[in-house]
């Protein structure tokens, strides 16, 4: 199972992409490209977070913020009212890398940085919801979550050359090994 591929298929099915583009104020092509880079980056950040002490609990807490309304269960309903919580979730996962990620995606897509932020705010609950669905009825322990997200992150980087390229650009401009940068160093072997 490839979470990123499944999510990309869902967001481009029917009128989902046009609804996202309208919601964020961007064009469909740019929004699709931003999602194609943002979703793998969110997955990588989740993998990095889960691998740290307390990370699985943090992700579980983010799932709890959705209040039982899992966007993966009803994407159409979620897209009609994505809410403001997604930006906080994206910020929690990406941390200090939030702005560099927005800038990098903005440069690649031509979308304004605030629009990219809105795309990430929609993508983050979608990714979290999909991961949460996979653990329904199971204990979400650090080892299981870390393993799942690590595998998914590797698949995402292999299937998204743009995201892998952007990760390389971020690596070149960052000195620390925390957050998104740390996971990408592990993924790309730098």
pLDDT digits (tens, 9 = 90+) for 160-185: 777 777 766 664 444 343 445 454 44
CB 170 within 8 A of CB 180: yes
Taking the model in full, what pTM does it have?
A: 0.82
Beta-carbon-side half-sphere exposure of residue 10 (alpha carbons within 13 Å): 19
**pLDDT score at 117:** 94
| pLDDT, tens digit, 9 for 90 and up, residues 133-169 | 877 666 666 777 888 888 888 888 787 777 777 766 6
* pLDDT > 90? residue 122: yes
Q: How confident is the model at residue 182, as a pLDDT?
A: 52
Token reading at 165: 């390229």
SS3 56: helix
Mean pLDDT of the chain: 80
Separation CA 20–CA 12 (nearest Å): 10
Q: How far is the CA of 135 from the CAs of 13, 59, 105, 130, 148, in angstroms? A: 25, 12, 30, 9, 10
What are the tens digits of pLDDT across the range 9-25? 998 888 999 999 999 99
Mean pLDDT, residues 66-73: 75
CA 73, 80, 20 angle in degrees (round to 5)? 95
Neighbours of 158 (CB within 10 A): 13
User: Does 100 have pLDDT greater than 80?
Assistant: yes
Give pLDDT, residue 183.
47
Confidence class for position 26, pLDDT limits 50, 70, 90: very high
Residue 155 has φ and ψ, to the nearest 5°, of -60, -40
pLDDT at 120: 95
Say how many domains are in the chain. 1
Q: How far is CA 119 from CA 37, 91, 136, in A?
A: 11, 13, 26
Which domain does 70 fall in, by range? 3-188
């Amino acid at each position: 199972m490839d979470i990123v591929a499944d999510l990309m298929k869902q967001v481009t099915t029917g009128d989902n992409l046009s609804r996202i583009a309208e919601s964020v104020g961007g064009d469909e092509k740019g929004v699709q490209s931003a999602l194609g880079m943002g979703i793998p980056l969110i997955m990588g950040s989740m993998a990095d977070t889960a691998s740290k002490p307390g990370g699985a609990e943090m992700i579980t807490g983010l799932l709890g913020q959705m209040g039982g309304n899992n966007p993966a269960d009803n994407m159409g309903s979620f897209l009609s009212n994505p809410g403001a919580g997604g930006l906080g979730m994206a910020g929690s996962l990406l941390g200090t890398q939030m702005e560099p990620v927005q800038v990098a995606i903005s440069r690649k897509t031509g979308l304004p940085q605030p629009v990219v932020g809105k795309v990430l705010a929609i993508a983050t609950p979608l990714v979290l919801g999909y991961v949460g669905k996979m653990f329904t009825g199971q204990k979400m322990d650090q080892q299981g979550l870390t393993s799942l997200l690590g595998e998914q992150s590797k698949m995402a980087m292999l299937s998204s050359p743009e995201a892998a390229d952007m990760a390389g650009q971020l690596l070149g401009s960052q000195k620390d090994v925390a957050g998104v940068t740390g996971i990408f160093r592990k993924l790309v072997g730098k």
